[in-house]
Amino acid sequence: MNFFLETLKVLLLSIWYNVESFIHLFVPKKKKNIAGEVVLITGAGSGIGRLMALEFAARGTVLVLWDINQEGMKETARLAKNSGASRVHYYLCDCSDKNEVYRVADQVKREVGDVSILVNNAGIVTGKKFMDAPDSLIEKTMEVNTMAHFWTYKAFLPAMIANNHGHLVSIASSAGLIGVNGLADYCASKFAAVGFAESVGLELLALGKDGVKTTIVCPYFINTGMFDGCQTKWPRLMPILNPDYVAKKIINAVLTDQVYLLLPKSMYLITALKNILPMKQGILLGQYLGAFSLMDKFKGRALKQE
């Protein structure tokens, strides 16, 4: 294509996309109907996983729950049925084990059908300084927080591509956008999860499979117990997030095909500043926001998939 014409096209479309975004500040995007969709949520036995399951259930979906906590899944299943799910299935699955992911995925496809909304939510945190973290825990963090996404995509994405229909939801973290003192392995796993989801999303667009959507969720600390003890320096600017609020925002992002969801909203500005400020000023900002001391009083809880 002619250089001038292609440049003009980019400029005009850029103007339109910005106008469109401005309009949506006042006019909400239309929400899609997901009744009857098969939704698989990893780490569904508690926390955000359970709350998302209840939100999806209220919209008449078929739920598939994965976790290593059998009792937690049973309770989530009971609550989901009461919330309106058309059907609920639950399976014990250790997402850090590739072979188990593939085995349980095959079982799901036989017993339930093709998954059309995949929510990679399972996650763990060690909360230890890098040099204090045992190799086994570092490996486990990467296996659950990152590699599990590879295996679930491998298992369920082919059907979405064949149908040009589906939604891939990655529950990552603001620690996947900005490094945090005391969270080296966790940050590495979440940076990888964000990069993986972005790259696969671009692959799908390049293939012309625009019916398979991607949503990448990067929240600050959520009050689910996973980061118990962590303190935020400026609660008004960077609050510890309410789990119900986060779950509702995630479902809304899925229903409106929102690609990136950062919580709280201040994370959009902070992430942008991190990428444009000089390094020394960025470190100064990090100190001001408390990024160097967030994990000082970390307690967490026994390692489990959230």
Which of the residues 17, 186, 260, 268 is marked catalytic?
186
Is 186 an active-site residue? yes
What secondary structure does DSSP assign to the chain, as a single string? --HHHHHHHHHHHHHHHHHHHHHTTTSPPPPPP-TT-EEEEESTTSHHHHHHHHHHHTTTPEEEEEES-HHHHHHHHHHHHHHT-SEEEEEE--TT-HHHHHHHHHHHHHHT---SEEEE---------GGGS-HHHHHHHHIIIIIHHHHHHHHHHHHHHHHT-EEEEEE--GGGTS--TT-HHHHHHHHHHHHHHHHHHHHHHHTT-TTEEEEEEEES-BSSSTTTT---S-TTTSPPBPHHHHHHHHHHHHHTT-SEEEESTHHHHHHHHHHHS-HHHHHHHHHHHTTTTTTTT----SS---
Provide the annotated active-site residues. Answer: 186
